């Protein structure tokens, strides 16, 4: 898995702070900028995010390249609809050298791990036979598994990232997309720490939405994601 923050809004925290200040100020842009220095930005963003006024962080966008993840993972990812996606196409890119992801639970079972790899090898041979017979890639891909490795470029604004982290950093989220979310959060915190100061699973900033299905580790999750908030 390789998760890389490729691009983000220049001076994202200043942009979001300006947007927020505008909501509460009678002045125009230049006067707001004059009154807003770097020392004030962190405190203001903390105040406005704590108030739940998250629309202001929609003005910051963050773009990631995700590589070495499965189609099973991206099927979950694209359910986050307030985002832009560009994914490696199985219609145009052939899979004659099928790369695939193996879950650790399968790796840990020697017998099933062997069966799993045999299945993938057989799948690749069927795919190659179809391509050699003139079946178009867009039809031959029907035999490809959810495990097939893929690459996807994704752009989300700050508010949607908060929502993404709330859902996908939860311990009840599937392991692969949770790992993706961990890498994404780590990287956005490096470039916009004040924007993402409260980012984490939903239980960090309120009650667990899973109810009786909760993981039982709320205290540990709050310590992990909320210690400095």
Q: Is 51 exposed, middle or buried (0-12, 13-18, 19+ CB in 10 A)?
A: exposed
Out of 13-22, 179-188, 203-212, pick the least confident. Answer: 203-212
Domains of the chain with CATH codes? 2-85+150-226 (3.30.1360.170), 91-147 (no CATH)
- In tens, the pLDDT along 118-140 reads 999 999 999 999 999 999 999 99
Collapse the DSSP code of 208 into the 3-class scheme (helix H, G, I; strand E, B; otherwise coil) and give the result: coil
Phi (first) and psi of residue 6, to 5 degrees: -90, -40
**Percent of the chain topping pLDDT 90:** 80
| pLDDT over threshold 70, residue 229 | no
Out of 17-31, 57-71, 134-148, 151-165, pick the least confident. Answer: 17-31
**Per-residue pLDDT, 36:** 83
Count how many residues are written for the chain. 229
Quick check: 173 and 73 in contact, CB under 8 A?
Answer: no
70 vs 144: CA distance, rounded Å = 11
**Per-residue pLDDT, 30:** 85
**Per-residue pLDDT, 35:** 79
**Strands lying side by side in the sheet with 149-157:** 2-8, 61-70, 149-157, 84-87
- In tens, the pLDDT along 62-103 reads 999 999 999 999 999 999 999 999 999 999 999 989 999 999
**Per-residue pLDDT, 33:** 85
CB atoms within 10 A of CB 62: 24
- In terms of pTM, does the model score above 0.85? yes
Extended strands (E) in the chain: 2-8, 61-70, 84-87, 149-157
- pLDDT confidence band for 110 (50 / 70 / 90): very high
Q: Catalytic residue positions?
A: 168
Collapse the DSSP code of 226 into the 3-class scheme (helix H, G, I; strand E, B; otherwise coil) and give the result: helix
160 vs 85: CA distance, rounded Å = 14
Computed over every residue of the chain, the mean pLDDT equals 94
Collapse the DSSP code of 136 into the 3-class scheme (helix H, G, I; strand E, B; otherwise coil) and give the result: coil
Quick check: 147 and 113 in contact, CB under 8 A?
Answer: no
**Per-residue pLDDT, 109:** 98
18 vs 59: CA distance, rounded Å = 10
225 vs 13: CA distance, rounded Å = 20
- Using alpha carbons only, how large is the chain's radius of gyration in Å? 22
**Per-residue pLDDT, 38:** 78
- In tens, the pLDDT along 33-71 reads 887 877 889 999 999 999 988 999 999 999 999 999 999
35 vs 22: CA distance, rounded Å = 12
């Amino acid at each position: 898995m390789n998760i890389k923050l490729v691009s983000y809004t220049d001076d994202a925290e200043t942009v979001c702070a300006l947007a927020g200040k505008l909501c509460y100020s009678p002045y125009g842009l230049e006067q707001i900028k004059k009154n807003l220095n770097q020392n004030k930005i962190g405190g203001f963003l903390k105040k406005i995010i704590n108030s739940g006024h998250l629309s202001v962080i929609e003005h910051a966008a963050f773009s990631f390249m995700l590589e070495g993840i499965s189609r099973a993972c991206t099927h979950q990812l694209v359910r986050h609809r307030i985002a832009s996606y560009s994914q490696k196409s199985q219609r145009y890119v052939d899979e004659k050298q099928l790369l695939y992801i193996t879950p650790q639970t399968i790796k840990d079972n020697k017998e099933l791990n062997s069966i799993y790899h045999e299945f993938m090898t057989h799948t690749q041979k069927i795919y190659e036979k179809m391509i050699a017979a003139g079946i178009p890639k867009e039809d031959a891909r029907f035999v490809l598994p959810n495990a097939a490795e893929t690459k996807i470029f994704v752009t989300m604004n700050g508010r949607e990232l908060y929502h993404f982290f709330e859902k996908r950093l939860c311990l009840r989220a599937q392991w692969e997309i949770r790992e993706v979310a961990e890498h994404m959060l780590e990287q956005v915190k490096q470039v916009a720490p004040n924007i993402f100061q409260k980012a984490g699973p939903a239980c960090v900033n309120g009650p667990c939405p899973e109810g009786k299905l909760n993981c039982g580790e709320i205290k540990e999750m709050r310590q992990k994601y909320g210690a400095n908030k």
